Chains A and B, each alone.
Chain A
Amino acid sequence: MVLGFLASQLLVGLSRAMILFIVSAGLTFVLGVLRVPNVFHGSLYMIGAFSAFSIATQLGHHPASVWVAFLTAPLVVALIGLAVERTLLTRLYQREHLMLILFTFGVTLVLNDLVKLAWGADYRSILPPPVLQGSAVLMGVPVPRYNLFLLAVGPLVALGMWLFTHRTRIGKLARAAAVDREMVALLGIDVNHVFAGAFLVGAYLAGLGGALVAPSTSITLGMDHTILIEAFLIVTTGGLGNIWGALLGALLFGLTQSLGVLIWPQFAIVFPYLATASVLLVRPRGLLRSVW
């Protein structure tokens, strides 16, 4: 039984890490390729969750409605992200980081108000797809089926990102631009397209994280803040711009959180922060090589 609880905490921690990884991967990818600390990444995640809610409820009780939401909500978010990048952000790439932070922070405020206009201040809720509802019992301990599903999605996203950055032209260019953007430009490649593509992928991942988290939590204004802080911590721990670093950072964060609860429930909040802070003390530039 004790072993059962340990195993279930591990599984649940890992599944949380998958959501964190998906969101952080998007943040770190944009950070690496565009050198933009995208503060409105959290807002995109929130819009992903709200869009998933709207799509799923519009389709009503059809068993596939949530699946459709998982597929389409991130696309909606990706398009919003692309629109902001093409119309506004693209004019600011030459500015210093402080300006970019201020600008992207400004966008969070605007997006927040737009979300409030579109969906109101009520909190919302959707359920997992019917086949994933309820919990499986492992060694006498309940583990929600939905969390087991997330465990499978995380590695798929990681694989997808690897294929994208290693097997597609734009992905390879993005990787090259992350290392040396002047050189890429000197080779006569339109860096603008690379940037737009990278931002689209980053926004897609934020939206995917939001859509996937929607069935397991309440969808509310303010969910953007929590994820943004966690994602920045994870990205920094993993090494700025390094997707595999984001994976490591997310695993560290998710697992210390869920296992910390077992060890010292009253102060469980501090464990993930303590872990990330310790890593940064020992390796100030993060676990893996930062591209900055």
Chain B
Amino acid sequence: MSDVRKSQILMVFLVGFIFSTTVVQAQMPRLVLDIKVGIVDTYSGPPAVFSNDALNGFKLALSDINKAGGVLGSRITFVTRDEKFSPETGLSMARELVLQEKVDLLVGTINSATALAISAYAREQKIPFIVWIAKSEVITGAKGHRYVFSTGENTAMAGKALAQFAASRPYRRWWIAGEDYEYGHAIADAFWRYMKQLKPEVTLAGQTWWKTGEPDLIPYLTAILSARPDAVFFGTGGAGMANVLKTMRAIGFAERVPTAIHTAIDYTALKPLGLNAPEGVMGTTDYLFYYPETSDNQSFVRAFQSAYGTPPGFPAFHGYITAYFIAEAFRRAGSLDRERFIHALEGLRVRTPVGMVEMRACDHQAVLPMFAGVTQKSPKFDFLVASNIVTFRGPQVMPTCAEIQHARGQ
């Protein structure tokens, strides 16, 4: 190819590029009054299942809010950015959303490391940031501050709920196992911390950790069986969770030793395995679409099901209540001023599918109930559900404000 021809092609591309960007910008003038939410989350790779679920819940709530006239006379709109599960990418996306897109607040993400990176940026820029899936307890705990909020449960709440649920049973020698990454250790630490508080006589028989994405867990699980502990706690989530459940079923693990896993009763974890998930596993979650059977929950589930063809998982619930927290806070603030928004959000109570939920003022953590139960088959569904459900109200599972202040070194 001659140089002349190359430069011609290059010119065509350049002109086309400039033209396309101007056309796009001309077509989408920004309404001055729109409230714009910038969402950074993982939309590629395995975590996208959860992130898309959260986004769907958020969209469902927004369409209701906007149909009802929006807030302060403006619609709430949003833009999304894919952080690809990388804190560096997530942080630069957040910067871009704030500087280029001029969003009014940031929302995200499933990745705790990204959430913490954006949280630090939000603090520096004085822009509100609502975390909706990431479960690290330091987000609103030790590293919490004025500009960061969380609308989902965290490892402290989950660990405490599951510890309370399991402590009522006669198990003393526990084995702790899990996936060797931040969440796996964080949830295991929280569970064990509260377990020892509630029941000082428990002992740790041993630990097993495997690498994330480890396809074959049979050697790990049979080795645990050989140690004959009274009960086992697994720190795992996402695709790793499906693997643990599948392996448990293959070797009849739960029949041999009682097992507790946070999110083991969760719909997103149980659905892929259908009726072949193990029964009798103790688990916790902060949302179940079939419980409580209140009209608020049922109408949310119906609306979600008709919009997306599947029942909502816990991320959808977080996304849904996030939208209501945002709308209510702006309504209460009476303006788009960020400081007034934060002031309005602190202590705000909104009506959600699981009842009234408060955004606790001292740590900016949504006071969510936690549900604990045991996996079981049900004639109503073609996947396992939770049975013997116990509800722990938020204050029963959350660290106290004094503990939070202590963790923040105040």
A residues near B, CB below 8 A? 1-2, 5, 8-9, 12-13, 16, 19, 116, 121-125, 127, 134-135, 141-144, 146-147, 213, 216-218, 220-223, 225-227, 257-258, 261-262, 265-269
Q: Is the CB of B225 within 8 A of A222?
A: no
Q: Is the CB of A257 within 8 A of B272?
A: no
B residues near A, CB below 8 A? 44-49, 52, 177, 180, 206-211, 213-216, 218-220, 222-226, 238-239, 242-243, 246-247, 250-252, 256, 272-274, 276
Contact among A8, A12, A121, A125 with B242 in the assembled complex (CB-CB below 8 Å)? A125
Q: Is the CB of A123 within 8 A of B242?
A: yes
* CB neighbours of B272 from chain A (8 A): 122-125, 218
Q: Is the CB of A142 within 8 A of B223?
A: no
* CB neighbours of B251 from chain A (8 A): 135, 142-144
Q: How far is the CA of A266 from the CA of B207 in the complex (A)?
A: 5
* CB neighbours of A143 from chain B (8 A): 222, 251
Which residue from chain B places its CB closest to the CB of A135 in the assembled complex?
B251
Which residue from chain B places its CB closest to the CB of A142 in the assembled complex?
B251
Q: Is the CB of A216 within 8 A of B222?
A: no
Q: Is the CB of B49 within 8 A of A135?
A: no
- If A122-B272, A123-B272 touch, whether A216 touches B216 (CB-CB below 8 Å) is yes
Q: Is the CB of B52 within 8 A of A5?
A: no
6 additional A-B residue pairs with CB within 8 Å, beyond A12-B222, A121-B44, A217-B215: A12-B218, A134-B252, A142-B225, A217-B243, A262-B219, A265-B208
Which residue from chain B places its CB closest to the CB of A4 in the assembled complex?
B226
Q: Is the CB of A269 within 8 A of B218?
A: no
Contact among A147, A220, A226, A268 with B220 in the assembled complex (CB-CB below 8 Å)? A268
Q: Is the CB of A9 within 8 A of B222?
A: yes
Name the residue among B48, B206, B239, B256 with the largest chain A CB count within 10 angstroms. B239
Q: How far is the CA of A2 from the CA of B243 in the complex (A)?
A: 26
Q: How far is the CA of A185 from the CA of B319 in the complex (A)?
A: 63
Q: Is the CB of B52 within 8 A of A222?
A: no
Contact among B46, B220, B224 with A222 in the assembled complex (CB-CB below 8 Å)? B46
Q: Is the CB of A5 within 8 A of B215?
A: no
Q: Is the CB of A144 within 8 A of B273?
A: no
* CB neighbours of A222 from chain B (8 A): 45-46, 213, 239
Q: How far is the CA of A216 from the CA of B248 in the complex (A)?
A: 11
Q: Is the CB of B226 within 8 A of A220?
A: no
Q: Is the CB of A5 within 8 A of B226?
A: yes
Which residue from chain B places its CB closest to the CB of A226 in the assembled complex?
B213
Secondary structure at the A interface, as helix, strand, loop or mixed, is: helix
Which residue from chain B places its CB closest to the CB of A124 in the assembled complex?
B272
* CB neighbours of B239 from chain A (8 A): 123, 218, 220, 222
Contact among B214, B219, B224, B273 with A125 in the assembled complex (CB-CB below 8 Å)? B273
A–B complex contacts, Cβ < 8 Å, 24 sampled:
A5-B223, A5-B226, A8-B222, A9-B219, A12-B218, A122-B49, A123-B46, A125-B242, A142-B222, A142-B252, A146-B250, A217-B216, A217-B243, A218-B272, A220-B239, A226-B214, A227-B215, A258-B219, A261-B220, A266-B206, A266-B209, A268-B209, A268-B210, A269-B209
Q: How far is the CA of A92 from the CA of B177 in the complex (A)?
A: 47
Q: How far is the CA of A125 from the CA of B275 in the complex (A)?
A: 11
> How far is the CB of A23 from the nearest CB of chain B, in Å?
11
Q: Is the CB of B46 within 8 A of A221?
A: yes
Name the residue among B46, B49, B223, B225 with the largest chain A CB count within 10 angstroms. B223
Name the residue among B52, B242, B256, B273 with the largest chain A CB count within 10 angstroms. B242
Q: Is the CB of A127 within 8 A of B213?
A: no
> How far is the CB of B155 from the nearest CB of chain A, in Å?
20
* CB neighbours of B46 from chain A (8 A): 121, 123, 220-222
Q: Is the CB of A144 within 8 A of B218?
A: yes
* CB neighbours of A16 from chain B (8 A): 216, 218-219
> How far is the CB of B219 from the nearest CB of chain A, in Å?
4
Q: How far is the CA of A265 from the CA of B226 in the complex (A)?
A: 12
* CB neighbours of B223 from chain A (8 A): 5, 9, 261-262, 265
- If A116-B44, A144-B218, A227-B215 touch, whether A125 touches B209 (CB-CB below 8 Å) is no
Contact among B206, B210, B246 with A218 in the assembled complex (CB-CB below 8 Å)? B246
* CB neighbours of B47 from chain A (8 A): 121
Q: How far is the CA of A20 from the CA of B216 in the complex (A)?
A: 11
* CB neighbours of B209 from chain A (8 A): 265-269
Contact among A121, A216, A266, A268 with B45 in the assembled complex (CB-CB below 8 Å)? A121
Q: How far is the CA of A24 from the CA of B329 in the complex (A)?
A: 57
Q: How far is the CA of A5 from the CA of B180 in the complex (A)?
A: 24
* CB neighbours of B250 from chain A (8 A): 134-135, 144, 146, 216
Contact among A217, A225, A267, A269 with B246 in the assembled complex (CB-CB below 8 Å)? A217
Q: How far is the CA of A116 from the CA of B52 in the complex (A)?
A: 14
* CB neighbours of A144 from chain B (8 A): 218, 250-251
* CB neighbours of B225 from chain A (8 A): 5, 141-142
Q: How far is the CA of A1 from the CA of B226 in the complex (A)?
A: 8
Contact among B213, B246, B276 with A216 in the assembled complex (CB-CB below 8 Å)? B246
* CB neighbours of A8 from chain B (8 A): 222
> How far is the CB of B107 from the nearest CB of chain A, in Å?
20
The 5 A-B residue pairs with the shortest CB-CB distance, nearest first, are: A258-B219, A218-B242, A265-B208, A5-B226, A121-B48
Q: How far is the CA of A216 from the CA of B226 in the complex (A)?
A: 21
Name the residue among A19, A223, A268 with the largest chain B CB count within 10 angstroms. A268
Q: How far is the CA of A124 from the CA of B46 in the complex (A)?
A: 11
